[in-house]
Amino acid sequence: MRTKFKAWAEPYINEHPEYALSDEEISLLDDFYLEIGSGKGDFLLKMSAKFPERKFLGIEKNVTCAGITLKKLVEAESSNVKFLYKDAAEVVELIKDKSVNTLYLNFSDPWPKKRHTKRRLTSVSFLDEYKRILKNDGELIFKTDSDDLFDFSLEMFEAANFNIKSVTHDYDGLDEEDAQTEYELKARNKGLTIKRVVVGL
């Protein structure tokens, strides 16, 4: 579902650089939790409130979604979160090796057309980078309501030699180390099942 463009978002982002990071600051991050494609930020907000001792970084490339997330972070005065309005492809390459505890991909865009395969956040070029930035005992956790994207992603994780730790085709959402996202709530309200996979190195 497309988010309606909000003209206030970009000026708001420019007025709140306190949640952003320079390229150098990105390259110095260590021991943190990363969400790629944060949407309107509910997961980031809930997880950072639930685990105040952890450091989080969210990345979102849609200006309106980024503005909405940032507004929530500012209003909540979240102090253990950084947030970037950028394409993840530009950010991940700056992150240092073995620095990420958990990488969350929540309801990533399915990009169903074959010619758009490379844009999927579980396509091979992204997975190579995820392997590089995850700590040895780090995990990547992927949730989706899309059967096709889930099957594709499982194949990609296997092909990239990730260690598949758990696969759930009807995830109940009750893991303490998790929080519900906007898309997840909508999917559950429609009666759709949620698929979830946890992988490590």
Ligand X SMILES: C[S@@+](CC[C@H](N)C(=O)[O-])C[C@H]1O[C@@H](n2cnc3c(N)ncnc32)[C@H](O)[C@@H]1O
Binding site for ligand X (CB under 6 A): 36-39, 59-62, 65, 87-89, 106-109, 121, 181-184
Smallest distance, ligand X to C-beta of residue 72, A: 13
Cβ nearer to ligand X, comparing 45 with 199: 45
Q: Please tell me the number of Cα atoms within 13 Å of 1 on its side-chain side.
A: 10
Smallest distance, ligand X to C-beta of residue 142, A: 11
Cβ nearer to ligand X, comparing 53 with 69: 69
Expressed in percent and rounded to 5, the helix, strand and coil fractions of the chain are: 40, 20, 35
Catalytic residue among 109, 148, 151, 175: 109
Beta bridge partners of 142: 105, 197
Cβ nearer to ligand X, comparing 139 with 145: 145
Place of tokens 């979240």: 78
42 is catalytic: no
Cβ nearer to ligand X, comparing 86 with 131: 86
Smallest distance, ligand X to C-beta of residue 35, A: 7
Spatial separation of the C-alpha atoms in residues 8 and 192, rounded to whole Å: 33
- CA geometry: angle at 133 spanning 174 and 82, to 5°? 65
Spatial separation of the C-alpha atoms in residues 182 and 171, rounded to whole Å: 16
Smallest distance, ligand X to C-beta of residue 57, A: 12
Active site residues: 109
